[in-house]
Amino acid sequence: MPVSQTKNIDPITPVTYVKGVGPKRGAALEMSGVKTFIDLLYHFPRRYLDRSTITPIVNLRVGMDATIVGKILSMNSVRTRKRPYFQVLVGDDSGQLRCVWFNGAKYIQRVFKTGDPVAMSGKVEYYGGIQFVHPDYDILESAEWATLNTARIIPLYPSTAELKKVGLDSRGFRRLFNKVIEIISWQVEEILPASVLQSLKLTGINEAFRQIHFPDSAAALENAQRRFKFEELFYLQLLLAVKRQGIKALKKSYHYSGTGPLLKQIYEKLPFQLTSAQKKVIHEIWEDMKSETMMNRLLQGDVGSGKTVVALLCASIAVGNGFQAAVMAPTEILAEQHHRNLQKLGNVVGIKVRLLIGGQRKSEREEILEEIRSGTAELIVGTHALIQEGVEFRNLALVVIDEQHRFGVVQRSQLIAKGFNPDVLVMTATPIPRTMSMTLYGDMDVSILDELPARKGKIITRTVNVDQLDKVYEYIRKQVRKGDQAYIVYPLIEESAKMDLQAAIQGYDYLRKKVFPELRLALLHGSMKTIEKDQVMREFSAGTVDILVSTTVIEVGVDNPNATVMVIENAERFGLTQIHQMRGRIGRGSKNGVCAMVERKRAETSHKRLKIINGTTDGFEISEQDLKLRGPGEFYGTRQHGFPKMKIADLLVDRELLKIARSEAFMLIKSDPQLRKSEYCAVREHLITNYSEYMNFIDIL
């Protein structure tokens, strides 16, 4: 039965049942993810137009971002030899404004008709008079235009090329929603718990839908938006709470009688004092290890904060109790490095440390696999392959995952699928702002190493321009003569990977032939074979390469205390966190390090960003600032495993709401882990219908 004749709405009613949506529109809507009637209600306006947001044309000033509302007075194509364009003249009571579209924007000529009321938004520019270039436009209904001088708020809807083809531009959506509101009685089932609605004074779902599409007032609109933002964040956090709950429900098959003999022995032989942050973190991890539920913990610590020794000490507890521990690194080079360091410390107390990587001889590999099976190998270091290639452990109780710069956590389900169910500690050197980690790693407990061990060497960071490059090169030459080594890093940004790679190769050729013909240079980039990369890294570590020219940051993660200079080309193109981590690679030993950030294209925002790097060495501070300047997209995008996309909430702007949503969601799952109580029936239903793709088998309620 069509929606238009019913009173109650079944949430899964296909959108094609809505009057005004036929098969064609239905197909276009489906491409935008709108399949059901409810989906349509969740197609929220992208912004709103009202009196307070409109600027009279006479008040426009160059440089302003503004929205004007007026009528189309005239339109014409202007042919010039250089750059033909299409111009539209818009007039309001106060004056006229030219809006310009350059060639390539032919479609625009068919969009408007003379006399159409329109809203135009853009930046005011000057070219023989003020104008908008390629403004955002919205065609209004005459009736809407007439009411704009009252307190009317007009929603502007997002659209796509496909939707526009079937008449669903912004105005088309308003027409559609006008029909929808006439014909339904707004009976959508509430999906937030009543207690939460009440304590947070949130608008009920039906009223909120009405206000978000047909706002009565700015205040009512704001309340409706707050409700949907909360709803989105609440379900995101509920998902994480459920995941965490699933892990907590797993009981260990082994248990610790104490920290064992090895921890103390290693501790007493460390060549340094642990920082108090390290002690605190080891304590937190130990609490998890001895608990009877599984550990799922993230250890965040800036580059150089001393995560490796934390991992070793925790591993020594496992080994001291007769269990095996594994350390996984993202690359073979890093695995080898961990192996070397851990073996040095392990040897002191007789822990059998073994390395398992792809490059080993068959006989050697067989032998190690056997040792892992029998339990002779106590601490095993390797890459992800450790848990993937039919490796059999005797009694694996702890897995430490050193992610370095990469997001993306090995899913516990992956471990379970291999027959393992160990405590998991993920270490990351990426200092993620709290707001972000609440989501990215929201299903884990978090420990933070917020203190750096006192180090002898200091890093001096400077922004330089192209004219100063000769001096930088001269400095490198001087340091190399003293026996030091240097990195020169080129950006490799995914979207322009090919061109970036070319720039790096050209740069390398130029440096090798023209700048440093007397020195030993090597090139390292992501498209090289692993064996080639490893070879280059080994040569660099061994000191047979003076300058390593590189495009990738991951491989730069290797410790070479002899490297003291880093040049970062086109530094303006890197993320701040990336730069911060890269520079952490120099001055690792007792010598000072110098990091020169070459700014090739000076823009105000990037210059501001680079200044932040000059100003502080605190990774958390840097990532917090970076997040503010670039928005959460970059952080979000790097996590391998998907999260639901936020439609209305903004993880940065709405951080206070996020905190509340998190605490409400976690409290709910704590009080009713499986959402079995009748008052949470709708919540459970909504979670399962809409978020099941983000859960895996252990999470199923």
Phi, psi of 525 (to 5 degrees): -145, 165
Nearest-approach distance from CB 588 to ligand ADP, in angstroms: 7
Residue 341: CB atoms within 10 A of its CB come to: 17
In the complex with ligand ADP, which residue's Cβ is closer, 328 or 649?
A: 328
**Between the CA of residue 598 and those of 464, 501, 504, 565, 685, what are the distances in Å?**
5, 18, 14, 13, 54
> Which window, 176-184, 236-244, 302-310, 466-474, contacts ligand ADP (CB under 6 A)?
302-310
Nearest-approach distance from CB 278 to ligand ADP, in angstroms: 6
From CA 424, how far away is CA 630, in angstroms rounded? 31
Q: Of the candidates 131, 203, 245, 308, which one interacts with ligand ADP according to CB under 6 A? A: 308
Give 463's strand partners: 597
Residue 5 Ramachandran class (φ > 0 left, ψ -120 to 50 alpha, else beta)? alpha
The label of the residue with tokens 């082994």 reads: 254
**Between the CA of residue 358 and those of 388, 389, 429, 555, what are the distances in Å?**
12, 10, 25, 17
The label of the residue with tokens 């160990």 reads: 422
Nearest-approach distance from CB 647 to ligand ADP, in angstroms: 37
Q: Of the candidates 16, 121, 296, 305, which one interacts with ligand ADP according to CB under 6 A? A: 305
Amino acid at position 176, single letter = L
Amino acid at position 221, single letter = L
Tell me, what DSSP letter sits at residue 399? Answer: E
Provide CB contacts within 8 A for 279, sequence distance 6+: none
In the complex with ligand ADP, which residue's Cβ is closer, 304 or 346?
A: 304
Tell me, what DSSP letter sits at residue 56? Answer: -
From CA 388, how far away is CA 406, in angstroms rounded? 19
Q: Is 556 in the site for ligand ADP (CB under 6 A)?
A: no
In the complex with ligand ADP, which residue's Cβ is closer, 344 or 481?
A: 344
Q: Is 307 in the site for ligand ADP (CB under 6 A)?
A: yes
Nearest-approach distance from CB 327 to ligand ADP, in angstroms: 11
Q: Using H for helix, E for strand and C for coil, what is the string for 493-530? A: CHHHHHHHHHHHHHHHHHHHHHHCCCCCEEEECCCCCH
Q: Of the candidates 26, 135, 306, 330, which one interacts with ligand ADP according to CB under 6 A? A: 306
Nearest-approach distance from CB 578 to ligand ADP, in angstroms: 15
132 near 120, Cβ under 8 Å? Answer: yes
525 near 555, Cβ under 8 Å? Answer: no
Q: Of the candidates 303, 329, 424, 472, which one interacts with ligand ADP according to CB under 6 A? A: 303
In the complex with ligand ADP, which residue's Cβ is closer, 298 or 683?
A: 298
Q: Of the candidates 309, 432, 515, 687, which one interacts with ligand ADP according to CB under 6 A? A: 309
In the complex with ligand ADP, which residue's Cβ is closer, 66 or 399?
A: 399
> Which window, 110-118, 274-282, 603-611, 617-625, contacts ligand ADP (CB under 6 A)?
274-282
Q: Strands 85-91, 65-78: parallel, antiparallel or unpaired by DSSP?
A: antiparallel
User: Strand ranges (DSSP E) for 112-229?
Assistant: 117-126, 130-133, 136-139, 154-156
For 557, the token pair is 């993660």
Nearest-approach distance from CB 274 to ligand ADP, in angstroms: 5
For 621, the token pair is 């501070």
In the complex with ligand ADP, which residue's Cβ is closer, 303 or 668?
A: 303
> Which window, 242-250, 300-308, 436-444, 680-688, contacts ligand ADP (CB under 6 A)?
300-308
Nearest-approach distance from CB 303 to ligand ADP, in angstroms: 5
Q: Is 453 in the site for ligand ADP (CB under 6 A)?
A: yes
> Which window, 267-275, 373-381, 489-497, 606-614, contacts ligand ADP (CB under 6 A)?
267-275
Contacts with ligand ADP by CB under 6 A: the residue count is 15
In the complex with ligand ADP, which residue's Cβ is closer, 143 or 454?
A: 454
Give 293's strand partners: 251
Site for ligand ADP in 390-429 (CB under 6 A): 429
Nearest-approach distance from CB 449 to ligand ADP, in angstroms: 7
In the complex with ligand ADP, which residue's Cβ is closer, 275 or 617?
A: 275
Nearest-approach distance from CB 176 to ligand ADP, in angstroms: 55
**In 249-331, alpha helices (H):** 260-269, 276-290, 307-320
In the complex with ligand ADP, which residue's Cβ is closer, 237 or 305?
A: 305
> Which window, 108-116, 297-305, 643-651, 655-663, contacts ligand ADP (CB under 6 A)?
297-305
Q: How many CA atoms lie within 13 A of 468 on its CB side?
A: 13
Site for ligand ADP in 428-447 (CB under 6 A): 429
**Between the CA of residue 466 and those of 567, 569, 573, what are the distances in Å?**
12, 10, 15
> Which window, 107-115, 298-306, 491-499, 520-528, contacts ligand ADP (CB under 6 A)?
298-306
Nearest-approach distance from CB 388 to ligand ADP, in angstroms: 24
Tell me, what DSSP letter sits at residue 482? Answer: T
Q: Which residue is nearest to ligand ADP (CB)?
A: 306
Containing 166, the helix (H) or strand (E) segment is none
Nearest-approach distance from CB 267 to ligand ADP, in angstroms: 11
> Residues interacting with ligand ADP, by CB under 6 A?
272-275, 278, 301, 303-309, 429, 453
